[in-house]
Chain A
Amino acid sequence: MKVLVAVKRVVDYNVKVRAKADGSDVDLNNVKMAINPFCEIAVEEAVRLKEAGTATEVVAVSIGDKACQEQIRTALALGADRGIQVETECGVEPLVVAKLLKGVIEKEEPQLVILGKQSIDGDNNQTGQMLGALAGMPQGTFASEVVIDGDKVNVTREVDGGLQTVALNLPAIVTTDLRLNEPRYASLPNIMKAKKKPLDVLTPGDLGVEVTSHLTQVSVEPPAERQAGIKVEDVDQLVDKLKNEAKVIS
Chain B
Amino acid sequence: MSTLVIAEHDNGSLKGATLNAVTAAQAMGADIDILVAGAGCDGAAQAAAAVAGVSKVLVADNAAYEHQLAENVSLLVAEVGAGYDNIIAPATANAKNTMPRVAALLDVAQISEITSVESADTFKRPIYAGNVIATVKSADAKKVITVRTTAFDAAAAEGGSATVEAVDAVHDAGISSFVGEEVAESDRPELTAAPVVISGGRGMQNGENFKLLEGIADKLGAAIGASRAAVDAGFVPNDMQVGQTGKIVAPDLYIAVGISGAIQHLAGMKDSKVIVAINKDEDAPIFQVADYGLVADLFDALPELESKI
> Which A residues fall within an 8 A CB radius of B?
11, 13-14, 16-19, 26, 93-95, 98, 117-118, 120-134, 136-139, 141-142, 144, 154, 157-169, 177-179, 213-223, 226-232, 234-236, 238-239, 241-242, 246, 248-249
A residues within 8 A CB of B289? 226, 229
In residues 275-308 of chain B, which contact A (Cβ within 8 Å)? 275-276, 282, 287-296, 301, 304-305, 308
Q: How distant is A38 from chain B, measured CB to nearest CB, in Å?
A: 8
What are the 6 tightest A-B residue pairs by CB atom distance, in nearest-first order?
A: A129-B100, A214-B109, A130-B104, A133-B104, A126-B100, A138-B176
Choose among B102, B128, B137, B175 the residue that contacts A123 (Cβ–Cβ < 8 A): B128
B residues within 8 A CB of A249? 196, 220, 253, 309
Q: Are A214 and B129 in contact (CB under 8 A)?
A: no
Q: Are A219 and B135 in contact (CB under 8 A)?
A: yes
Q: Are A231 and B181 in contact (CB under 8 A)?
A: no
Q: Are A121 and B128 in contact (CB under 8 A)?
A: yes
A residues within 8 A CB of B295? 231
Cβ of B1 within 8 Å of any chain A Cβ, yes or no, is no
Q: In the complex, A213→B139 CA distance in Å? A: 8
Q: Are A164 and B178 in contact (CB under 8 A)?
A: yes
Q: How distant is B65 from chain A, measured CB to nearest CB, in Å?
A: 14
Cβ of B245 within 8 Å of any chain A Cβ, yes or no, is yes
4 more contacts with CB within 8 A, not counting A129-B70, A132-B70, A158-B93, are: A133-B102, A141-B96, A160-B93, A231-B295
Max chain A Cβ within 10 angstroms of own Cβ: one of B131, B137, B175, B238: B175
Nearest-neighbor residue (CB-CB) of A169 within chain B? B175
Q: In the complex, A213→B104 CA distance in Å? A: 14
Number of A-B contacts (CB under 8 A): 251
7 contacts between A and B (CB under 8 A): A130-B110, A133-B105, A160-B93, A216-B139, A223-B270, A231-B292, A239-B309
Q: Are A123 and B139 in contact (CB under 8 A)?
A: no
Q: Are A242 and B294 in contact (CB under 8 A)?
A: no
Q: In the complex, A194→B175 CA distance in Å? A: 36
Choose among A133, A178, A234 the residue that contacts B100 (Cβ–Cβ < 8 A): A133
Choose among B131, B245, B301 the residue that contacts A17 (Cβ–Cβ < 8 A): B131
Nearest-neighbor residue (CB-CB) of B118 within chain A? A218
Nearest-neighbor residue (CB-CB) of B115 within chain A? A223
Q: In the complex, A120→B183 CA distance in Å? A: 28
A residues within 8 A CB of B220? 249
Choose among B93, B100, B138, B196 the residue that contacts A94 (Cβ–Cβ < 8 A): B100
Q: Are B292 and A230 in contact (CB under 8 A)?
A: yes
Q: Are A139 and B92 in contact (CB under 8 A)?
A: no
Choose among B110, B127, B136, B263 the residue that contacts A16 (Cβ–Cβ < 8 A): B263
Q: Are A132 and B71 in contact (CB under 8 A)?
A: yes
Cβ of B158 within 8 Å of any chain A Cβ, yes or no, is no
Nearest-neighbor residue (CB-CB) of B301 within chain A? A235
A residues within 8 A CB of B163? none
